[in-house]
Structure 1
Amino acid sequence: MNSYISEVEIFYNNPVKIEDRKKVISSRSAQEAFFDFSDPRKIGHKEFFWLMLLNNSNHILGISTLSSGGITGTIVDVRLLFQIALKANATAIIVGHNHPSGKTEPSNADKQITNKIKSAGDFLDIKLLDHIIITPENTFYSFADEGQI
């Protein structure tokens, strides 16, 4: 019986030059990037969770939608989050999600997932810079600004 071993190949393709990519310089610039990436017709309807991938100079490599949930929550698989971050060679990340209710205050679940992501990132040497909560009204909450990271 013949046995075969499959080759695993990983690559990242981004044709945009580094100097042409948006740079995150504050929680406001991260919030704007998430808001621009999201569909404003949908963020008042249900929750989404996003992952922003950054290089060592805080230029945005890309944003990935990790999950789409219900009216009051969405599930985040931390393993998939870091699978994407590792594949993109991100040295830092910012996570974000929306609150369709318009309230910016984080829930206990928001705080727990932030701590879980931070711990995993510390182990992998991928820094969690912030967790941004955005609203349909374009208001936001920054875990970093509030000393929660």
Structure 2
Amino acid sequence: MKLLSELSEQELIEEAKNILYKRMLNEGKELDSPKAVRDYLHLALGEEEREVFAVIFLNNRHQVIEFEKMFFGTIDSSAVYPREIAKAALKHNSAALIIAHNHPSGDMTPSNADKQITTRIVDAMGLLDIRVLDHFIVGNDSPYSFAEHGLL
């Protein structure tokens, strides 16, 4: 095992990511503040070179059950299937979830397609009594929240 002083900058960053992932996923920490969610998603999706759509599955106390990168696309789009999100939510016995994706361009402005898929996911999860708490778009700055902008 290397000492911290022996690690390269990239190795240090990867170690920091691993520590934050473990804290977020394994300690039952409640995602009770938009800042905690933003920080986590920025870490998880901020450096992706192509569009990635992810889901944070939560229990009824909004504790993390699982974080899953579910759909992978190109530099400007990704096919997202609400059916697959529903299957995963049921598998994890989720009561709620947070959806997120990145915009590799860095522009966090939601597109019409972003708004439409959000509506489809909210409607599909509603049939299963699973709440969608928010949809975040990760870009260059602090992630954009659909809930905070009245779009959810």
TM-score by length of 2: 0.79
**Per-residue deviation at 1:37?**
2.8
Distance apart, 1:20 and its partner CA: 1.9
What is the match of residue 67 of structure 2?
63
Contact 2:46 2:138 in 1 (8 A): no
Q: Which of 129, 135, 149 is residue 133 of structure 2 equivalent to?
A: 129
Once residues 53 and 84 of structure 2 are traced to their aligned partners in structure 1, the CA distance between those partners, rounded to angstroms, is: 12
Contact 1:104/1:139 (8 A) holds in 2? no
> Distance in 1 between the 2:77 and 2:34 partners?
22
Amino acid at match of 2:100: G
**Deviation for aligned residue 1:109:** 0.3
1:142 to 134, 140, 145: 145
Q: Which amino acid aligns with 2:33?
A: S
Give the gaps of 5 or more residues in structure 2.
Answer: 1-22
Q: For 1:92-131, list aligned pairs within 5 A.
A: 92-131=96-135
The residue type equivalent to 1:113 in the other structure is I
How far off is 1:19 after superposition? 8.5
Give, as a single letter, the amino acid of the residue that structure 2 aligns with 1:88.
H
Deviations 1:31-66 (A, max 9, x none): 2222233372xx2x2100001100111111111111
Q: Aligned equivalents of 1:53 and 1:134: distance in 2?
A: 18
Of the three residues 14, 20, 23, the one matched with 2:27 is 20
Determine the C-alpha separation between the residues in 2 that align with 1:39 and 1:117.
Answer: 22
Q: Deviations over 1:81-125 (max 9, x none)?
A: 110000101000000000111111100000000000000111110
The structure with more helix, counted as a fraction of residues: 2
State the aligned residue count: 129
Structure 1: unaligned runs, 5 residues or longer:
1-15
Is the CA contact (8 Å cut-off) linking 2:46 and 2:102 kept in structure 1? no
Shift of 1:138: 4.2
How far, CA to CA, are the matches of 2:123 and 2:58 in structure 1? 18
Bigger CA drift: 23-32 or 106-115? 23-32
Counterpart residue type for residue 135 of structure 2: H
Aligned to 2:57: 53
C-alpha distance 131-108 of structure 1, shift in aligned 2 (>3 A): same
User: Given the alignment, which residue of 25, 35, 41 partners 2:42?
Assistant: 35
Pairs within 5 Å for 1:68-107: 68-107=72-111
Q: What secondary structure is seen at the aligned counterpart in 2 of 1:132? A: strand
Q: TM-score, normalization: structure 1?
A: 0.80
